[in-house]
């Protein structure tokens, strides 16, 4: 699922540390519940502003707790689904993954 440019980031020590400390922080608040439905356990640390090739080196985006949310798998999938659904209406990707507006 992760794009090529993001693969090395997700494997980096800096991200592993950031992710672990974020999960520890969430657990200290509510035991580590999903921040969206607040009923299931968090499963994925999600970037609110998604990582792109343009911001991959911007630690204010990639390693900033304010840009992270802890989601259960269901909420993460719903978010991903809704995003792609809204894109379908007036935006599309070409074969190389470039975004175009109709």
State which residue, 11 or 41, has the beta carbon closest to Zn ion.
41
Residues that bind Zn ion (CB under 5 A): 34, 36-37, 40, 72, 75
Cβ atoms < 10 Å from Cβ of 6 = 18
Which own/partner pairs from 54-63 qualify as long-range (CB within 8 Å, at least 24 positions apart)?
56/5, 56/6, 56/9, 59/14, 62/9, 62/15, 62/18, 63/14, 63/15, 63/18
**Least distance from Zn ion to the Cβ atom of residue 9, Å:** 24
State which residue, 34 or 61, has the beta carbon closest to Zn ion.
34
State which residue, 29 or 91, has the beta carbon closest to Zn ion.
29
């Amino acid at each position: 699922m992760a794009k090529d440019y993001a693969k090395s980031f997700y494997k980096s020590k800096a991200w592993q540390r950031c992710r672990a400390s974020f999960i520890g922080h969430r657990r200290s608040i509510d035991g580590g519940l999903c921040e969206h439905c607040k009923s299931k356990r968090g499963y994925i640390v999600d970037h609110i502003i998604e990582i792109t090739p343009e911001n991959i080196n911007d630690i204010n985006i990639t390693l900033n707790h304010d840009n992270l949310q802890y989601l259960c798998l269901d909420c993460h999938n719903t978010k991903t689904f809704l995003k792609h659904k809204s894109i379908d209406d007036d935006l599309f990707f070409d074969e190389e993954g470039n975004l175009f507006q109709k």
